[in-house]
A and B are shown apart, each in its own frame.
Chain A
């Protein structure tokens, strides 16, 4: 054990090595430290389990008011017999000489048969050789003496008398070294500090925990061969809905599900050919008159698919892996599991190897990379993909299957009108849900609360 000790600690340990079980007072003497330094040093050593501090209770004797007077002038009975040593004395003389102690002195001397009294004089009868209490008075003096050091018989007389001696119960601390302290090296540690004591807490500056998961997912997409494209959060209904085969009277397009911008319409949506293609696809398959004005209404994008579909429509690549990542919006009442604004990622694959099995394969690989291995696929429905599947992943902590990303192959009713000639696999979903599983959270709103204790205290994943 390499420990650094304060000078105070070192002096105390050294002194205790010479003599175990000392009191603070004796340590003050042996170490030449102040009482306060000794007190602190003992406390430090005790907290480190290097010193053992025990406490004993004992009785100490000091002199009371009458005791102090008797120490100076002699006990009352001593003064009486001293006055009578030269011969009998008149009562009145004795009374004057002894003052307030005359009564007690006479009483004691009579009771012990030391004196005899006639009508007007007192004389010695038996001269006492030794008076009880005189030894104690001298021993105690102005100090406090443990009762155990005083002859019990001598003390008893004084204890019976008023205010001659005072008995106090005192606690005494005894300090000894613990076993571990006995082997400590008190080598040169000058200038070193105590590196084991507690320190104040400082807070790390960091990126947001949700951003960390977003970055991790971006990296996974990149390593799976996908390139990132960006796009606006405000979109025309054309790209958010119409291009994705969602008829203009579809319930998902209503105000109660989608945020429409107040008083703002898109001046431009798609190219003339794109608009014609979409319009015809809707007419043919949904049997209604498609309205360009409805397609011009601006919305907060409800998914990132509007970004990827526009990219594909504008570029019609033979082969591509692209992804889009960002905020999407739903007009929902916020709750522990729903946000009005959340983060979505979506990838598309164009070209070779675009079967449903490949789509499932890339899902499985994605989940493996975020640490999820137990997955299964269920059929589902999206207006713009066919076939469509959703991933169910098993969460051990919750003990149940949870729905994560959706996926599918873009419908020909979506791709053909936009001039996209190759099959397109698409997959994606909300990121907060994955982040909740990773951080073990129950309330998705916490991600956007910016609660400092949460931001400062959440462990990196």
Chain B
């Protein structure tokens, strides 16, 4: 979940007319979790579907609604202007085809505002923009730019001074030498041509989606902003612009339009949408009995507009509310505006009879039998390591299944044996008193073109007198009492068991597992000082009556 750091005091000023306590009490009911607080600074976790909560301006909008100081949708006021335009050239079509933009004037830009705008930009790049792949933003000082602009392509020798630098660099240099160049350069592919925004003096404004030019850097002296969004999809590009425009208007800027044309581009519309929902669906879904006017006022508290047509509620949704897909989203907005704390739980009696799955029941009875035989149940991870499964036990890794890019060396391979894990457990308990007897049932995995999952059952016994007879007696009783079956053992070999002390477990001549004395070399590898005996067998097909899941 993304996190934004904000000042409570600043948030209080932005909301207006509420106490800090009202703010902290209300945040969770917007779906915002206070992750930590350090004096005035709070770190707030927000849902990735609400990029408008990536700034205090957006959070203030939500709080105003919930606390009732300002309700209804924030309508974007974009003054039509003919002074600003961007012309897209056909060269961008194959690389990053779409551009959009807006001008924001006469805002107050202090350090905190710059911080919030940068945080917003980062969040939009990461979430909506999918790490700048789908869309990305550049925020510029409007007064350093001569309109009209062109969105075109250039070759990699093109030079300009990038943001945070003082010298001119070629695009190749920027891509190889700067951090952002290295991170996002690959998005430009192998083409010799790269997208570029140039102003009327042919000076560079931005190299999307990598970096802005230094000349348009926003500082606390900046009064007017120009924002451009580029992307691979027109709708995503304009959606991102809608979020930025809303935040800038909430931050006190006056918006003016930028005309976009050329190469299938067009000016952004930033229009509201309407969704009609019946009040019956709302009440049925929430389990409430709200009148039409209560529903409308609740939606207004969720910063939406709504009107009624009989029992139908027509909800008007501002362009930045990209999280709203359809009627159920409106239902949720009613619940949020009404206040989750106002909705009381109601228990309805069950119309159905519950039952455990037969496999769970079987395994549970086997647990009882094994504890009755003096075995302690162990639980190990299904995702484990090559060391435990193969290296320490000399087992053959030929059908093993790995996962990609695990963050932990101990969790890279799906287990194909439970016994190997139990041996590892013994090795971690050599200082505990003996006898040590463990068992486990659980899923094991094997690759044969696809994944084959089955349930195995393993047991292990370690103490100074442990021997084959003991473990066979245990297995024999467990299966007789647990499943009503009699198994036989036939001389066999297995890398984990000692020669001459190893057998296959057979049920009606079918091989279902192995049993024996653990090889002394393996025991020595694990620094265990007593003999160990154990078994592992498959439960799935023979005993649980499963035909896969």
For A333, the chain B residues whose CB sits under 8 A away are 407-408
Cβ B352 vs Cβ A319 within 8 A: yes
A321: CB under 8 A from chain B?
Answer: yes
Cβ A225 vs Cβ B346 within 8 A: no
Q: CA separation between A379 and B48, bound complex, in Å? A: 14
Shortest CB distance B278–A (Å): 14
For A215, the chain B residues whose CB sits under 8 A away are 364
Shortest CB distance A273–B (Å): 21
Cβ A380 vs Cβ B31 within 8 A: yes
A375 (CB) vs chain B CBs: closest residue: B345
A336: CB under 8 A from chain B?
Answer: no
Say whether, besides A206-B377, A357-B286, A267 and B355 are in contact (CB < 8 Å): no
A353 (CB) vs chain B CBs: closest residue: B348
The A/B interface has a contact count, at CB < 8 Å, of: 258
For A229, the chain B residues whose CB sits under 8 A away are 357
**Choice from A232, A249, A262, A353 contacting B133 with Cβ under 8 Å:** A249
A417: CB under 8 A from chain B?
Answer: no
Q: CA separation between A388 and B214, bound complex, in Å? A: 44
Interface size class of A (residues with CB under 8 A): 35 or more
Cβ A264 vs Cβ B451 within 8 A: yes
Cβ A352 vs Cβ B382 within 8 A: no
Residue among A261, A358, A388, A413 with max Cβ neighbours from chain B (10 Å): A261
**Choice from B49, B352, B404 contacting A259 with Cβ under 8 Å:** B404
For A381, the chain B residues whose CB sits under 8 A away are 31, 47-50
**Choice from A332, A358, A379 contacting B346 with Cβ under 8 Å:** A358
Q: CA separation between A357 and B290, bound complex, in Å? A: 14
Q: CA separation between A131 and B374, bound complex, in Å? A: 84
Cβ B335 vs Cβ A356 within 8 A: yes
Interface string of A206-246 (1 = CB under 8 A from B): 11101100010010011111111111111000000000000
Say whether, besides A361-B346, A363-B345, A379-B336, A287 and B354 are in contact (CB < 8 Å): no
B353: CB under 8 A from chain A?
Answer: yes
Interface string of B323-367 (1 = CB under 8 A from A): 001111101100110001101111110111111110110001001
A362: CB under 8 A from chain B?
Answer: yes
For A222, the chain B residues whose CB sits under 8 A away are 354-356
Say whether, besides A261-B401, A331-B406, A361-B346, A230 and B359 are in contact (CB < 8 Å): yes
Shortest CB distance A405–B (Å): 13
Shortest CB distance A425–B (Å): 10
- Interface window among A4-12, A85-93, A175-183, A445-453: A445-453
Cβ B360 vs Cβ A227 within 8 A: no
Interface string of A389-403 (1 = CB under 8 A from B): 100100000000001
Cβ A207 vs Cβ B371 within 8 A: yes
Interface string of A355-394 (1 = CB under 8 A from B): 1111011111100000000001111110100111100100
Cβ A249 vs Cβ B285 within 8 A: no
Cβ B353 vs Cβ A409 within 8 A: no
Interface string of B390-413 (1 = CB under 8 A from A): 000000000001111111101100
19 contacts between A and B (CB under 8 A): A205-B371, A205-B372, A205-B374, A210-B379, A211-B367, A218-B356, A218-B360, A228-B355, A262-B402, A300-B383, A333-B407, A340-B407, A341-B382, A361-B345, A378-B33, A409-B328, A412-B327, A450-B429, A450-B438
